[in-house]
Chain A
Amino acid sequence: MRNLRTYGKNINLIIGGFILMMFFIMMVVSFFYTPYDVNSMDIANKLKPPSADHLLGTDEFGRDIFSRIMQGTQTAFFVGAVSVSIGMVFGTLIGGVAGYFGGWIDEIIMRVIDALMAFPGIILALMLVAVFGTGMINTSIALGLMAIPGIARIARSGFLQSKELEYVQAAKLMGLSQMKIMFKHILPNVASPLIVAASIAFAVAMLAEAGLSYLGLGVQPPDPSWGRMLKDSQSYLVSAPWYTYAPGAVITLMVLGLYMVSNAIRDIHDPR
């Protein structure tokens, strides 16, 4: 934390951090309190525009959209956190081994990673969903697997650069084990590009989850999902446009917050 002051001055970090903090607070609160029960239907009040009673209006079953948006943060954080964790653990491990050991191990790993990254966008996730099935857990696993190659590539280049440095050579001469050198000494030094990669992976996973749920292949009801809300809202696009605005806006805002924070961390650690 030697450059705490640079953190405080970075406008991207302040705004992005504020946005993410708001969503995080919203998620914590949603466990204890939402203005209405998220699944209680009230057909008499269906598709009502925003009002003092229903801040963001109601959906086709008369459910409170604001409450459902609040609860949707749980899904967003769950899917993001699980898939980023999978991506980080396996990506760092695989990329670290490739970069540190080099040679034919590196060559094989990199070719497989290139092949995995050749599948455009969410196609890999769609293929995995086709095999594993839909739902919150399966979606998180599929998106986690999708995150591995990108993170592995960044971990690899970090380890590759670090292994030539003097402190690593010194650690080797001291006879430390390979595992200890890799994870105790090199890993903390390549942490900042990995943190940047993790926050971007979080944003990508959120967008992909929203996309899959919109297609009906991601999170399934009754689990709340902003992407799923968008799918349901499309039938009422003209008669109830507010139903579309809220989930789309929160997805955009949260992804924007993640991008801003990742840009800020990159700028602070790698000023060009």
Chain B
Amino acid sequence: MAYFIRKLVLLLVTLVLVSLITFAVFQIIPGDPIRIMLGPEADEARIETLEKQLGLDKPLHEQYGKWISGVVTGDLGDSIRFSRPVSELIADRLPVTLSLALMSVAIVIIVSIPLGIYIARRHNTLGDVIFSSLTQVGMAVPSFWLGMLLMLYLGMTFSFFSISGYIPWSESITGALGSLLLPAITIAIPQIAISFRYIRNTIIEQLQLDYVRTIRSKGIGERFVIYKHVLRNAMIPILTVFGLIFAEVVAGTIIVEQVFGLPGFGSLLITSISYRDFPLVQGIVMYITIVVVVINFLIDILYAILDPRIRLG
């Protein structure tokens, strides 16, 4: 129990620090942020209204207090560029990014686990060497370039894929799949490389442990050894790597959405940065980071439940 309480406290400390950093970064803007946001031709009255609206005339700790309670209640004020509530803009874009991220994670799991097991059993063969070199390339390729190549070779060849824009799930399920599948594969490939390596190494390590020798000596088939015993034990450390992969996938959506013209968090974030719409930038960064931190926290908890050595050790 003490372990879980410590983890929960650490989660809260991290979230508070993340919010402080997100808030503080926008305090070090050189010059007057209002003038930067409104541009050089803004008139004094407009500047004053916006200053009041954003509460910039108040002391810093009051500004932070107002902002952080806004984060918690989901009321982050209005975007300067869109003149709409920040939370509404974020909610609008959520389905795209969420579908994309979940699809990518699903692809990573579906591909990397069987592949990792398959190659681990053929440890040190030619296939192993080839795949392990390929994963290095997979990690080195910039995701957006990969997206452009997939678009060129698959997107233009098969009419199933729509290569630009998003078709909502409610409109057409195949249409939504067609618009999300290529970007999801794009985001997934570098992560498959990372997770494949990790899974391969974990299973090879497990196969050398005493318990595997014991089971084998009982004359149980190799398939049974792998799926019934080794995989179960290997899954626990593999779980932690998926927390990392989730964070990378979320970050990956930001660039890859731009490649495929998908209206998700990424394009909203890029637009808000280009227009120096700071309340919107802060809001998006904060919510994305909260989700990633909480998912990693949940994975830590699950890890400790599955492997008692973690919380007792």
Give residues in A with beta carbon < 8 Å to B: 111-112, 114-116, 118-123, 126-132, 203, 207, 210-211, 214-217, 227, 230, 233-234, 237-238, 241, 244, 247-248, 251-253, 255-256, 259-260, 263
Contacts and interface: CB of A to CB of B under 8 A. Distances in A.
B12 to A, nearest CB: 11
A148 to B, nearest CB: 13
B161 to A, nearest CB: 14
Q: Interface size bucket, B side? A: 35 or more
A151 B17 CA distance: 19
B289 A118 contact: yes
Per DSSP, chain B at the interface is helix
Closest CB pairs A-B (n = 5): A121-B251, A115-B17, A248-B145, A255-B140, A256-B140
A258 to B, nearest CB: 8
Contact of B25 (A127, A227, A237, A244): A127
Interface string B261-278: 000000001101110101
Given A238-B152, A251-B145, A252-B142, A215 B136 contact: no
A14 to B, nearest CB: 14
A122 B273 CA distance: 13
Nearest to A231: B144
Contacts of B269: 126
Contact of A122 (B17, B26, B149, B254): B254
Interface string B127-147: 000000000110111111100
B76 interface: no
Interface in B101-143: 136-137, 139-143
Given A115-B21, A120-B251, A248 B289 contact: no
Contacts, number: 130
B250 A230 contact: no
Contact of B136 (A120, A123, A128, A259): A259
A128 to B, nearest CB: 7
A234 B139 contact: no
Nearest to A207: B142
B188 interface: no
A118 B270 CA distance: 20
A120 B247 CA distance: 5
Contacts of A128: 25
Contact of B142 (A111, A120, A129, A251): A251
A127 B22 contact: yes
A260 B269 CA distance: 34
Contacts of A132: 30
Given A244-B152, A252-B140, A130 B281 contact: yes
Given A115-B17, A216-B274, A260-B136, A234 B25 contact: no
B248 A252 contact: no
Q: Interface on chain A toward B: helix, strand, loop, or mixed SS? A: helix
B142 A217 contact: no
Contacts of B26: 131
A214 B144 CA distance: 8
Contact of A127 (B17, B140, B156, B281): B281
14 contacts: A115-B13, A115-B20, A121-B247, A121-B254, A122-B254, A122-B255, A123-B288, A128-B25, A131-B26, A216-B274, A234-B148, A247-B145, A252-B141, A255-B139
B152 to A, nearest CB: 5
Contact of B13 (A111, A121, A207): A111
B285 A244 contact: no
B293 interface: yes
B253 to A, nearest CB: 10
A262 B13 CA distance: 33
A211 B256 CA distance: 10
A126 to B, nearest CB: 6
B246 to A, nearest CB: 9
Given A115-B14, A118-B14, A211 B281 contact: no
Nearest to B273: A130
A230 B21 CA distance: 32
A115 B292 CA distance: 12
A75 to B, nearest CB: 15
B29 interface: yes
B281 to A, nearest CB: 5
A118 B151 contact: no
Contacts of B289: 118-120, 123
Contacts of A244: 145, 148-149, 152
Given A115-B18, A120-B288, A131-B25, A259 B139 contact: yes
B312 interface: no
Interface string B19-53: 01110011011100000000000000000000000
B252 interface: yes
Contacts of B22: 127
B266 to A, nearest CB: 9
A31 B270 CA distance: 33
A210 B259 CA distance: 13
